[in-house]
Amino acid sequence: DAVMHIAPLLSYLDQTRPTQPLTWQPWQLTPIPGGANNLLYRATHTQHPPLEWALFENASSSPVVDEKIYRFQANRTIDLAIKFTVRDERNRAQREHDALVALRQGGQAIAPEPLFVDTRSYRQPVVVQRWLFGHTLSGPPTSTAQWQQLVDHYCAIHTVTPANTQIQLAPAVINATSGATGKALIERDLARIPPEARRESLNRLVAWAKTWEPPMWKLPQLTLCRVDGNWRNFIQQEEQIASVDWENSGWGDPAFEIADVITHPAYVDVPEERWAWMIEAYAAQQADATVMIRIQTYVTVMRLWWVVRSACYLYEVPRGLDERLVSRPADWEERAEQLFARAVALAEQAIAQ
């Protein structure tokens, strides 16, 4: 069957980890750079697909509505994204596959089509998807229309709930459902740095966080949350924005997602006026009385969290505590120091408001 046909390809990639484009048997293989915790390849079948590819049965242990919903047309080029992930407690490959299945079950075609996942047979867990066509964004959206497409993308994600999917998802890796659980995120990562190794600016902001009393609200409706709003994960298609890299996704408060985008370092040059617009544009599509206050609260949480996260990075990397599949650039420490300084400045600005 199709799984047997792809197994040799997966074994080859797992063993050789090519870094340059090449042809192997009937496959054109292209390494895709960018991820620190995964090895990503585009694999295009260069010959007429074998008859067995006419039906690609879902071979994972994840329940789906119909185990034979993933079909290749016999006359269609096979174009795959093959992603090997770091092996850690997040279970990234399975998490990504399951989120993509949940999106399909929820009627959303805004991400790659999942085909196969295997967390045991190779050195690294692997998830296989159809290649998602479009153009990766080259930076934050550049027009109000494109920003609206990004808002619409998140609104589409957040229509997927436990009520309209059959698959079981874990909680999102980074999310909160209240101000208190947001503060717990900060404390969780702070615990990774011994007290004697904490910088004065970090201690000052953490002390403020301990006394901060955020607003309270009823438990929000949980939805699928993709996590990681970096613009590099978004694909511009003809009439919509789609996205890739769902390895941290899961159930969570959708309002947190908007705060995650607003505070992500990749958007540091976006003006505050655009963020105010985005909050209003998102809230306008939600029948949710507390969504705006939740977003604003989570923005404060994430401003503080980024200080802690960047401090963790600076502490852990020299001690070999942050292993990755891809080597860091030579100037990683300089970049990390810049990220930390910028995070401190933004957090101080946030708590002064």
Q: How do the pLDDT tens digits run along the chain, 353 residues long?
A: 456 678 999 999 999 999 999 999 999 999 998 888 999 999 998 775 554 554 444 444 333 333 333 334 444 578 999 999 999 999 999 999 999 999 999 999 999 999 999 999 999 999 999 999 999 999 999 999 999 999 999 999 999 999 999 999 999 999 999 999 999 999 999 999 999 999 999 999 999 999 999 999 999 999 999 999 999 999 999 999 999 999 999 999 999 999 999 999 999 999 999 999 999 999 999 999 999 999 999 999 999 999 999 999 999 999 999 888 888 999 999 999 999 999 999 999 999 98
CATH number of the structural domain spanning residue 314: 3.90.1200.10
Q: Cα separation of 209 and 187, whole Å?
A: 9
Residue 25 sits at the vertex; the CA angle it makes with 21 and 31, to the nearest 5 degrees, is 20
- When divided into structural domains, the chain yields a total of 2
43 with 167, same domain: the answer is no
Q: Cα separation of 339 and 31, whole Å?
A: 28
Query: What residue has token string 């340059």?
Result: 20
Query: Which residues, at least 6 apart from 86, have a Cβ–Cβ distance to it below 8 Å?
Result: 37, 38, 92, 124, 323, 324, 325
Q: Cα separation of 277 and 261, whole Å?
A: 13
Q: Which two tokens stand for residue 155?
A: 């609104």
96 with 181, same domain: the answer is no
99 with 173, same domain: the answer is no
DSSP 290: T
DSSP 271: -
Domain boundary among the residues 94, 109, 133 is at 133
Query: What residue has token string 């119909």?
Result: 66
79 forms bridges with which residues in the sheet? 44
240 with 329, same domain: the answer is yes
Q: Cα separation of 311 and 198, whole Å?
A: 8
35 with 161, same domain: the answer is no
